[in-house]
Amino acid sequence: MLTTGRRVDVFGVQMSVTDYADSIDQIIEAGREKRSFAMSALATHGLMEAVHDDAFRDVVNDLDLVTPDGQPVRWAMNILHDAGLDDRVYGPDLTWMVCGAAADAGVGIYLFGSTPETCEKFVAAILKEWPHAIISDVQPDRFREATPEEDAADIARINASGAGVVLVGRGCPRQEKWVGAHRGHVNAAMMAVGAAFDYHAGLLRKPPAVMQRVGLEWLWRMGLEPKRLFKRYAVTNTQYVIELAKAVASQRKRT
């Protein structure tokens, strides 16, 4: 049985021992209460960004919930801490489940980030599946950092909308930095789940289930965008393997 709030150290990054049901419960509870809550679904790329960037690691470690978005992250949690996780908590799937739970609970949803076209298609997909869903507002990304005045206006707009869940699609690590900086200011559950926008807008195809289960989603995505993603995954995956080997070796020395 999962203990809500439990975190384990993966290469210095505090990951939440959680599953879909537990994550949804935490998010919807915060959304109902209009309680400021910050979460991220962190895959291998985000994990390694946090490992090598002290400031970003501090941001991630201060979030309320950090789910193992990628299978390799889940494997590391199980290998190093016997976390007992049977599955990852994949950001796009979690986002979709939260949209349904929010619709049923009467909790408003706010889209923050991505392009106007993507947001429009994402909203259409939500309302097609759950016509009773409450879309509190939609605010596409500026694709630059907000000025202090714009940021204050953003916070006021989100809080005035009555939304309980804010889906943040700005890409890693920008979205994690945003939800971390706005914890305590935005009165809602903020979810850093950028890829979910493109998946549910129908602009990015999901990999086959078998590739997801064996941790090869990166290979599928790299095949779709080789120029942009080849270097990222070649470097990130190598770094992950090295860090896991080091952690396992260190653990064995202690025992």
Alpha carbon 90 to its chain centroid, in Å, reads: 8
Instruction: Kindly state the tokens that stand for 237.
Output: 């995956």
CA distance 112 to 89: 21
> What's the whole-model pTM score?
0.92
Instruction: Kindly state the tokens that stand for 22.
Output: 């537990």
pLDDT at 158: 98
Cβ atoms of residues 120 and 197 within 8 Å: no
Over the stretch 158-186, which tens digit does the pLDDT of each residue have? 999 999 999 999 999 999 999 999 999 99
Beta-sheet pairing, 163-169 with 189-192: parallel
pLDDT at 77: 98
Over the stretch 203-242, which tens digit does the pLDDT of each residue have? 987 776 777 777 777 666 667 677 776 777 788 889 999 9
CA distance 178 to 171: 10
Beta-sheet pairing, 37-42 with 13-16: unpaired
